[in-house]
Structure 1
Amino acid sequence: TFGDNIFFVTVSSNPNLERIVQELHLRRGSKVPTLGNEVNAVKWLHHFLKEQGQNPLLVLDDVWSGSESLLEKFDQVKMPNYKLLATSRSEFPRFGSSYHLQSLDNDNAMKLFHHYASLGDKSSDIPEDLSRQIVLVERCKGFPLAIKVLGGSLCRQPIEIWTQRLNEWSRGSTVHDSDDQRIPAAALIDIWTEYYDLDEDAECIANLYKLSYRSLANLVVIRKEKVEKVEKVEKKEGNQYYSEHFVTQHDILRELAIYYSKQEPVEQRTRLIIDKCDRLFPKKLHNMQVPDVEVLVLNFQTNNYALPESVENMDKLRALIVTNSVSPAELSNFQLLSSLSNLKRIRLERISILSITKNPIELKSLQKISLFMCNIGQAFTNCSIPISSAFPNLEEINIDCCDDLVELPADLCDLIRLKKLSITNCHKLSALPEEIGKLVNLEVLRLRCCTDLVKLPGSIEYLTRLHFLDIYKCFSIEELPERIGELSGLETINMGQCSRLQELPYQF
């Protein structure tokens, strides 16, 4: 009945209408709107559902108790044949009738457990002691996801691991409640590359696939087109595009990891994750001494936010991830990073870049910066410090889903060490700097889904080290530079769905 018009979104414990609406557009491959408030979010929700035609089914998964205000927003949508389905461990009687799903009985629970414990391979070793298996499965209380995680974690493990798990659960541990939260794979790449000294992004993705095969995490690719088609084009090492890869993890495993990380005193931790729903940090966090921290992840939900003063003393910090779950926020205290000589990677999500560039700083060790759904505007145009002076060793720039980016500043082309420039899903970007030919070390230029981009600068012919060019879904490009064929190092060009590009240059 619904065909391809079924849309699945996980709500979880922190319902956010703006995030859900943006995620719907992202999964459909359409322009991701900058919303700012719930009124605009509701308007864009109507717009999204109308675009899907008849019979859309929207599934809100894992809706927690107390989320009635969120359900009201979706219930107010009046469209012919529009259906809303919410899954929850709580009932919401004023929004319609409820259907109670029963947990699995023992027989089906055991069958599901055997499937994931053996990965479908009947030759895999599963302890013959049936009573041992029953005790483990009973602890899952018939929840399919819990059984899947348990089976996957024990697959191909020696009998000692089975015994250890049984002993732990005999002391009262259990498996309960599920809550998947989506994590950008690009953020994990930044964390793992620095924390584990990995050489390539592909190594991180390979590790994610391994975790997925063992049911310890789920790797999801949000793309409208077939993944296999795009990956054939991007088969060359170093060309992979991971901005549409996301990871979800069962809350049992997430809480277990957090539990073990908290066994060490804060002062001795090398990884530090801080979640805040307001802009104020407790005084102890501002004053804490954590000199061994190498990776810092800050998650918050507010329109104004200040980095904790303790960041200034994190001398070993190599990667910083700052994520806001609402509309782009003002970020202050950024100047605290100027003294960190080991900081190599920064990823900012939903941040107003203008709030940072008002008081620009030099980050001489920075090698990679990623901006996702940030407000950029003219932030880099009027800086008192040239970009090349602020980031003299920058090798990679990633800008994704920044809707107000219209043009890049010309002095960006003075970043002579830059190897990768990725600007994707920036639909208002209309032109690149004519001076782009000065980026003589550039190897990868990705402009995917920049739908207003009209042309490529003629100076691109000087990018002799460029081996990968991606203009996929750049609908407005009608022709390529005449001398693009002189790019001797170019190995791959992805120009799928460039509908106005009718012919190639003579020398190509």
Structure 2
Amino acid sequence: MWSSCGRAGDMYTSYYEISVFQHDVLRDLAIHMSNRDDINQRKRLVMPRRAVSFPREWERNVDEPFHARVISVHTDEMREMDWFRMDCPKAEVLILNFASSEYFLPPFLENMPKLRALIIINYSAGNAVLHNMSVFSHLTNLRSLWFEKISVTHLSDSTNPLNNLRKISLVLCDMKNSLDESDVDLPGLFPQLSEFTMDHCINFNKLPLSICRLHKLNSLSITNCDSLYELPSDLGELQTLQVLRIYACPHLKRLPPGIGHLVKLKYLDISQCVGLRCLPEAIGCCRNLEKIDMRECPQIDSLPSALSFLESLRRVICDDEVFCQWKDVEKAVPGLCVQVAEECYTLDWLSQ
């Protein structure tokens, strides 16, 4: 059976708040059905969890191209000598699951000219170091990149720009202070980036200034990152930004005044930023802002008067401490609905 959790009805809900689970029997059935065709003709090539080596069936058929569009690999540590050649001219999605502290990226990435999504997930206890990063220079059509539990180092040393990359998600990653380097040129590396997400990442104190030159960025989401203490002062240069989610970053003390220049901003989430002391007066210039989520921000006990200028604001979620002040704003902004956040204490996640 399928089951889901989260606020799926909210158009601004993060996908980290929504989870879907599939029964093991259905998963096995899906794998069985995808394996009915000849291995080189399958649309999905799924490798069951193994200790080290690839399935023998895959290796016996390397003389012909694999026409799968989705390929999923599950191994332990892989070194350069552990891989064999695979020609995958139609592959659009590659999922690399592994459990080790080091991992050599498969050389056959060079033979995936149509690859659009690359998902790399490490299941070991610590973060993993990736090797053979030069293969990224061949991924000219890559649109989405997901790193989970990876050590991310020296972004400035990347080989070539990923000119078509639209989305980066870094989950449980160790940034090794790579974002603190002044020479990180994010627009040069990812000129078309529209979504940048970091969740539960460690060892970075602030975002690089160059992030403000990502002029096609629509969504910036930094969540559960307790080392973050500062946002770039030039954040307002992100003229296309519509979603700004700074959630559960306890050491962040203020939002930059430049936030008022985010003329297309529609959603601001600062919930659980327990160190945040105030909202800047300039926020009143965000005339397209539709929703503010500021639950569990205990140090914010007063609101700027400029909030009454937010003519597009329709929903605010806050705590009791500022509810009365928001009710005054509600009178000045037609259509605004202010609600107190519901307290929800549950241990249901322990059973997942």
Q: What is the TM-score normalised by the length of structure 2?
A: 0.75
Q: Which moved more, 1:441-450 or 1:242-251?
A: 242-251
**What CA distance in whole angstroms lies between the structure 2 residues aligned with 1:316 and 1:422?**
28
Cα gap change, 1:435 to 1:344, in 2 (>3 Å): same
Aligned to 2:286: 487
Write 1 or 2 for the structure with the bigger share of helix: 1
Cα gap change, 1:455 to 1:404, in 2 (>3 Å): same
**What CA distance in whole angstroms lies between the structure 1 residues aligned with 2:202 and 2:224?**
8
Aligned to 1:177: none
Deviation at 1:332, TM superposition (A): 1.5
After superposition, residues 342-491 of structure 1 pair within 5 angstroms as 342-354=141-153, 358-382=157-181, 386-491=185-290
Q: Is the 8 A contact 1:387 1:415 kept in 2?
A: yes
Q: Is the 8 A contact 2:161 2:188 kept in 1?
A: yes
Residue 122 of structure 2 corresponds to residue 324 of structure 1: yes
Aligned length: 280
Deviation at 1:358, TM superposition (A): 4.0
Report the secondary structure of 1:248's partner residue.
strand
Aligned to 2:25: 252
Deviation at 1:264, TM superposition (A): 4.0
**Root mean square deviation, CA, Å:** 1.9
Deviation at 1:469, TM superposition (A): 0.3
Report the secondary structure of 2:16's partner residue.
coil
**What CA distance in whole angstroms lies between the structure 1 residues aligned with 2:231 and 2:182?**
19
Q: What is the TM-score normalised by the length of structure 1?
A: 0.53
Out of 36, 39, 44, which is 1:265 matched to? 39
What is the percentage of aligned positions where both structures have the same residue? 35
CA deviations 1:213-253 (Å, max 9, x no partner) are xx2x23244xxxxx5xxx7xx83x3x121213333222222
**What CA distance in whole angstroms lies between the structure 1 residues aligned with 2:289 and 2:223?**
20
**What CA distance in whole angstroms lies between the structure 2 residues aligned with 1:469 and 1:293?**
37
Out of 313, 329, 339, which is 2:138 matched to? 339
Q: Is the 8 A contact 1:332 1:355 kept in 2?
A: no
Q: Is the 8 A contact 2:156 2:185 kept in 1?
A: no
Report the secondary structure of 2:147's partner residue.
strand
Residue 74 of structure 2 corresponds to residue 289 of structure 1: no
Report the secondary structure of 1:483's partner residue.
helix
Deviation at 1:405, TM superposition (A): 2.6
Out of 106, 122, 141, which is 1:308 matched to? 106
Q: Is the 8 A contact 1:331 1:355 kept in 2?
A: no
**What CA distance in whole angstroms lies between the structure 1 residues aligned with 2:195 and 2:187?**
13
Deviation at 1:361, TM superposition (A): 3.3
CA deviations 1:286-334 (Å, max 9, x no partner) are 3110111100000000000011000011011010100001211001222
**What CA distance in whole angstroms lies between the structure 2 residues aligned with 1:259 and 1:355?**
41
Report the secondary structure of 2:175's partner residue.
coil
Cα gap change, 1:281 to 1:256, in 2 (>3 Å): farther
Q: Is the 8 A contact 2:137 2:159 kept in 1?
A: no
**What CA distance in whole angstroms lies between the structure 1 residues aligned with 2:149 and 2:178?**
14
Q: Which runs of 5+ in 1 are unaligned?
A: 1-214, 222-226
Write 1 or 2 for the structure with the bigger share of strand: 2
Q: Is the 8 A contact 1:368 1:397 kept in 2?
A: yes
**What CA distance in whole angstroms lies between the structure 1 residues aligned with 2:104 and 2:226?**
30
Amino acid at match of 2:92: E
Residue 72 of structure 2 corresponds to residue 298 of structure 1: no
**What CA distance in whole angstroms lies between the structure 2 residues aligned with 1:360 and 1:466?**
33
Q: Which moved more, 1:427-436 or 1:244-253?
A: 244-253
Out of 276, 295, 303, which is 1:496 matched to? 295
Deviation at 1:493, TM superposition (A): 0.7
Deviation at 1:356, TM superposition (A): 5.8
